[in-house]
Structure 1
Amino acid sequence: MSVSGRQFDDPALNTKLLTASKDVRQVGQETVGGVRTTHYEGTYSMTDALAKLSGDQRAQAQKSFGEAGFDKLNFDVWVDGRQLPRRVTVATPSGAKAAMKVTIDYTAFNVPVSVTVPPKSQVTDGADMLGGGGQNTPG
C-alpha cells in the first residue's frame, strides 16, 4: 500500500523506483521468511524515481507523492539468491512533512492468489490519512 494504495503493491514498479538510488549499499546477509537474502539500503529522490516511470505511472505517483509532500524516501530491500525481492521497506526520512513506513514481504512468485476485499469500514486511503483526499479507497 502507498499513499494512494497503488505505488508500493507492484514489485516491478518498486524495482523501478529503487533503481533511482544513487547511494544504495549492501548491509549484510539476513534470513527473511526462512530464505537467505542480501540486505541493501539507500535513498532515492522523488525527482529521480519519477523519471524512471512511464507517463501513466509517473502521473499517478506524482499526484500521490506530491500531495503527501515527499521529496526523498529511504528504503531497505532484501534480495534472495534468484535476485527476487523478499522484503521491501520504504519510509520517509526523519523531519519529513508526513511520516510513512511501508513494509512488503514477498512469500511466493508466479502462483495463483485469491484476495478477499475487506469491508469498507476496515479500509483507509493513505492519502486521506495524510490530508490528500485520495480517490482510490477500495470497497
Structure 2
Amino acid sequence: MRSSVRRATRRRATGAGLAALLLAGGAVGCSKLAADSSPDMAPAAAVAEAAKKTQDITSLRYRMAGTMPGEGKITAEAAMSMKPQAMSMRMTSAKTGSTVQVRVVDKALYLNGGAETARELGGKHWLKLDMSALGGLGNNLTANGTGAAEADKNPAAEAAFLTGARDVKKVGTETVDGVRTTHYAGKVTLADVEAAAAKGENRDARERRAKSVESYQKMGVDALTMDMWVDGDHHTKRFRMRGEGDKGPLDMTVTFLDVNAPVTVTVPPAKDSTDLAQLMKDAQG
C-alpha cells in the first residue's frame, strides 16, 4: 500500500507540475468580443497598454497548446479565479496519451488521472494535497513542481513580459477566433523582464510577475521569443512564448476566451478523494 501511494503521488505530482507550469504561459483576453479593429499605436506603446489592462483581471478562461520542456506536446483548457483563489484545468499529453484534471480550491490541490489514479487509490479518483497539512513534505512537493504555492499566479503576468523587450515590432493584422487583432513580436531576457517590473505596475502585478519569472528560471529558460495579438480594445487575445529550457524546447500558444466572467470550481466529493496527509499519518502509525 505504501509503495502504491508513493508511485501514485510521483505520477500525479508530475502531471500537476506540468499543469501548474502551463499556468505560467498565459496572457489575457476579453469577455466581450472587441470591435473588428486593431489599435493604431506605436508597437511599444500598444504592448504597454495591453500589459496595463492585465493588472485588474479577476478571472480567466483560456485554452492552450504547444510543447513543454521534458514533457512534449500538450493541450489544455483552464479557468481560474484570483480572488478567491481557485483553478480548474484539464490537460492531455500526447507523450502519454493520458488526461489529467487539476483543481485548486481553498489552498488544496486535487489531482485526477482517471482510471490509473483509481487503481492506485482503491477506487477513488482524486488525490488531495493540502500543503498546510503536509508541512515540510508539502513544501518539498511544491519546490519539485506540484505548483500548489504557485496556483494563485495570474497568467496575465506573462502578457507584461513583452514590455521588457527592446525590439518590439508590428508584424501585421490577423483574425483570431473571429476577432481582428494586431500582431506584435519581440525578444526578451528574464533580466529585461525583471528590470521592467517597476515601470507602472501595482504591487500585485509585480508579485505575479516575480512568480512567473521564477517559474521560467526553474525550467532553465533565460530568454523568450514572444508574440502577442492585441484586439481593438487593447486586450491580448492570443499569446505565444518560445524558448529553450534545460529539458528541451518551450513553445506554448494561449488563446483567451474571456476574462472577469464568473468562475466556479467545486471541491471533489470527499467519498471519491484520498487525502495524502492522512495516508502518511496512517502509514507512520
Q: 1:3 to 1:24 in 2, by over 3 A?
A: farther
CA distance in 2, matches of 1:81, 1:25: 17
Q: In the alignment, what sits opposite 1:84?
A: 235
1:107 CA drift (Å): 1.9
Q: Kindly tell me the number of residue pairs found equivalent between the two proteins.
A: 115
More strand by share: 2
Higher relative contact order (CA 8 A, sep 6+): 2
| Partner Cα separation in structure 2 for residue 27 and residue 73 of structure 1 | 17
Question: Between Structure 1 and Structure 2, whose CA radius of gyration is higher?
Answer: 2
Rounded Cα–Cα distance in structure 1 between residues aligned with 2:242 and 2:187: 9
Distance 1:116 1:37, change over 3 A: farther
The letter of the residue matching 1:78 is W
TM-score (norm 2): 0.35
Residue type at the aligned position of 2:176: V
Residue in 2 aligned with 1:4?
21
Residue 27 of structure 1 corresponds to which residue in structure 2?
Answer: 171
8 Å contact from structure 2 (residues 168, 184) kept in 1: yes
| In structure 2, distance between residues paired with 1:56 and 1:84 | 18
Do the aligned residues in 1 keep the contact of 2:24 with 2:158 (CA within 8 Å)? Answer: yes
| CA shift digits 1:78-127 (9 cap, x unpaired) | 1000001110011116xx54301111111223322345799xxxxxxxxx
Structure 2 distance, partners of 1:99, 1:70, is 9
Unaligned runs of 5+ in 2: 1-17, 29-53, 55-156, 198-205, 269-285
Aligned-residue CA RMSD in angstroms?
2.8
Between 98-107 and 76-85, the greater mean CA deviation after superposition: 98-107
**Structure 1 regions of 5+ residues with no counterpart?**
119-139
Secondary structure, aligned partner of 1:106: strand
Structure 1: which amino acid aligns with 2:187?
T
Greater per-residue helix proportion: 2
